[in-house]
Structure 1
Amino acid sequence: MQTKGYGEIKKEVKKALKAHFDDKIGTFNVFGQTDTPYTMFNMQFEMYNYFNVIFNYDRGRMGCVLVNGEYGIGLYNSQKWYDQADMNLFCKELQEQVELRIPDKFLEYNGWK
């Protein structure tokens, strides 16, 4: 059973993302947050100065999408449930999924590859 509110979960997720991505991740914008009737929130951030990504948390389930106009492109990740997730693995898989979609020349130019 979920005992943490969105504020605490948001801080933990943000800390894990910043620790893993360092200068590859931009500022965070949180929206759609609530603890009633259940905990959910969305957090948007820029990655690699290239993509806007939305992290979604809804009743314990989590995932990320690339912003693509009005719709998002879902990113695969094996860590689906927050309370069971290995955040290091979550960040590693997010990194792989995002880097696959960025030209190598861009990553090399910025010293990220």
Structure 2
Amino acid sequence: MQNKNSETISDEIINRLGDYFQKKIDDFMISEMTDTPYTMFRIEFVMYKYFNIVLNYDRGRFGCSIINGNRFLPLENSQKWYDKVDMNTFLKELEEQIKLRIPDKYLEFYGWK
């Protein structure tokens, strides 16, 4: 993992999410960030003005879930390890997983379908 710290990695991820989703994503919040004893952090954000999402990063493994109260609904993704990630695939799969759960009328209203 080329000795990147949690701040560097979280900034990279937020920039890629913002570039890919543009106005479909907002309200980024980073929490639980640490580099000791290992690198981990959590990024929460809102997608499509519809779902609250959390991206967890823990020792190189990462993935997203929908926040549903105090429970988390994991989103399937083929990209599990940050140091081996194809970020374009990760972002495309995240978009597909989210859009599957949003009514078409809502997506059409905002011009996202």
Partner of 1:47: 47
Partner of 1:56: 56
- 8 Å CA contact retained: 1:77, 1:90: yes
The aligned runs of 1:1-113 (5 Å cut-off) are 1=1, 3-113=3-113
Q: Aligned AA for 1:48?
A: Y
CA–CA distance in structure 1, aligned partners of residues 94 and 16 of structure 2:
12
Q: Aligned AA for 2:40?
A: M
- Equivalent residue of 1:38, what SS? coil
Q: What is the Cα deviation at residue 27 of structure 1?
A: 1.7
Q: What is the Cα deviation at residue 2 of structure 1?
A: 5.3
CA–CA distance in structure 1, aligned partners of residues 43 and 11 of structure 2:
11
Q: Which runs of 4+ in 1 moved over 3 A?
A: none
- Equivalent residue of 1:26, what SS? strand
CA–CA distance in structure 2, aligned partners of residues 20 and 89 of structure 1:
11
- Equivalent residue of 1:27, what SS? strand
Question: Unmatched 5+ residue regions in structure 2?
Answer: none
Superposed CA RMSD: 0.8
Equivalent pairs counted in the alignment come to 113
CA–CA distance in structure 2, aligned partners of residues 32 and 11 of structure 1:
14
State, as a whole percentage, how many aligned pairs show the same letter: 55
Question: Unmatched 5+ residue regions in structure 1?
Answer: none
CA–CA distance in structure 1, aligned partners of residues 24 and 30 of structure 2:
18
